[in-house]
Amino acid sequence: MNGVEDAWAEFFVCWHPKMVVMGLQAGAARPEAEDAAGAVAVRVMQSWSRWVAVRHQDAYLRRAVVREVVGARRKQAARRTGEARWARDGLWSGPRDPVTDACERGCELDVVRQCLAIAPERRRDVLAWLFFGRPPGWTVADIAAELGICPATVRCQRRHARRDLAPFLLGDGHERRAWLRAGQRVHETFRAGGAGPLTPRPVIADGWARLNEDGLTPDRGTLVELLDRDELERRRRLSPLPAGSPVVAELIDLATRNELLAVVLDSDDMVLHRGGHRDALAAADRLGFLDGACWDGDHAGVTAAGLARSLGAPVTVNRWEHYFPDQHGLCCVAIPVPLAAGGHVTLNLTAAADSLTTVPRAVHRMLDILARRLRKELQASGA
């Protein structure tokens, strides 16, 4: 047995780097290529007698590595499909809402705008044409002619853009340090009163400009006012979402399971209910994001809840996009739910973990499902 182990050790030293290269040539990322090479090496050890009889070892290993890469991709795609199905059907089994789908496409465009902020100039040009400026029917050749470059350059930049966009669009929530550094520079330039080559998303830039025109400076920080207990209880009684509402309970449960903060606000951006994971609650306590807090633009700056109220649409605000620096550790998503009598209630989820640059998309989708369900219930009750 020791002879086989020694022979396999020599095989590993000789062939493992070559198999990693084979995986890379098959289109895998380096971690995927290394995993595939390791899996093939283990199988070779398990069937060593078969390996020593192989005549064309290079071709044999190349086929095995490619099969491993393809199999891993299929498993990953199946897992993502299952996660998407779970996120879609976990709380509401009704038909898909085309309005919601349109909202998700809009969120993806916002993600592309985030990526534009940190992309090289040529890639920004190609991305802008692909997503925002391309007339119907235009091809890669048409875009290349418009930009004065060859079609191969457009395809190359598109390939690099897909690679850069993947961490944003997959919703895995992992920190993108390049985006954070770029965003911090954007915010610092704004605070200094300058104008740089990078800008935030239009909805964020408009919010910053509006608060700046109103005389609020980012250096002031979050400064909230709290309702007295009697007024808070009165607002809760008048709200279509009392403290014992099943929707509030499910929202808080969703936040707790995902280490988030859940908040319900009324039409005046007053916090009616909140709950969630203890770490997220502690981060909110430090900012004064408490029951009865006024979380509008004058007090909390640019936030997802405030923008959702003014725009009447779902909004995300992540890290440095908040106006006040003391909120730069937060990632927020808010969805307004209109009321028949006028006004709305806002469902808000906030992440305070340092490892996140956005609320995970699966959680975002769950919140959207919960908001649609609440909207149907309110319509049925006439509230």
The pLDDT-based confidence of 334 (bands split at 50, 70, 90) is very high
Query: How much is the pLDDT for 172?
Result: 40
The pLDDT-based confidence of 188 (bands split at 50, 70, 90) is confident
> Per residue in 204-217, pLDDT tens?
888 998 998 988 88
pLDDT greater than 90 at residue 323: yes
Query: How much is the pLDDT for 154?
Result: 83
Q: How far is CA 184 from the centre of its chain?
A: 18
pTM strictly above 0.85:
no
Query: How much is the pLDDT for 382?
Result: 63
Query: Average of pLDDT values for 300-324?
Result: 89
The DSSP symbol for 21 reads H
Which CATH code fits 219-381? 3.30.450.40
Name the residue with higher pLDDT: 28 or 110. Answer: 28
The pLDDT-based confidence of 169 (bands split at 50, 70, 90) is very low
Q: Which residue has the tokens 């779970």?
A: 86
Neighbours of 369 (CB within 10 A): 21
Query: Average of pLDDT values for 147-165?
Result: 79
Neighbours of 82 (CB within 10 A): 10
Share of the chain above pLDDT 90, in %: 13
Dump the DSSP string for 302-316. Answer: S-HHHHHHHHTS-EE
Query: How much is the pLDDT for 261?
Result: 92
The pLDDT-based confidence of 132 (bands split at 50, 70, 90) is low
From 244, 253, 250, select the one nearest 272 (Cα to Cα). Answer: 244
Name the residue with higher pLDDT: 51 or 125. Answer: 51
Beta bridge partners of 264: 273, 347
Fold of 107-167: Arc Repressor Mutant, subunit A (1.10.10)
Query: How much is the pLDDT for 271?
Result: 92
Mean pLDDT, the chain, integer:
78
* C-alpha torsion 88→362→278→273, nearest 10: -50
> Which alpha helices (H) appear in the chain, and where do they start and end?
2-25, 30-46, 48-52, 57-89, 98-116, 121-128, 140-147, 151-169, 177-191, 202-213, 229-238, 246-257, 278-287, 297-300, 304-311, 361-381
Query: How much is the pLDDT for 300?
Result: 92
Name the residue with higher pLDDT: 307 or 97. Answer: 307
Query: How much is the pLDDT for 136?
Result: 62
pLDDT greater than 70 at residue 30: yes
> Per residue in 91-117, pLDDT tens?
333 333 443 344 444 455 556 666 666
Name the residue with higher pLDDT: 84 or 140. Answer: 140
The pLDDT-based confidence of 190 (bands split at 50, 70, 90) is confident
pLDDT greater than 80 at residue 44: yes
Spatial separation of the C-alpha atoms in residues 208 and 246, rounded to whole Å: 36
Query: How much is the pLDDT for 88?
Result: 38
Query: How much is the pLDDT for 293?
Result: 92
Q: Are 328 and 355 in contact (CB under 8 A)?
A: no
From 192, 345, 151, select the one nearest 262 (Cα to Cα). Answer: 345
pLDDT greater than 90 at residue 242: no
Edge-to-edge strands, sheet with 331-338:
271-276, 261-265, 344-351, 331-338, 315-318
What's 53-112 look like in SS3? Answer: CCCCHHHHHHHHHHHHHHHHHHHHHHHHHHHHHHHHHCCCCCCCCHHHHHHHHHHHHHHH
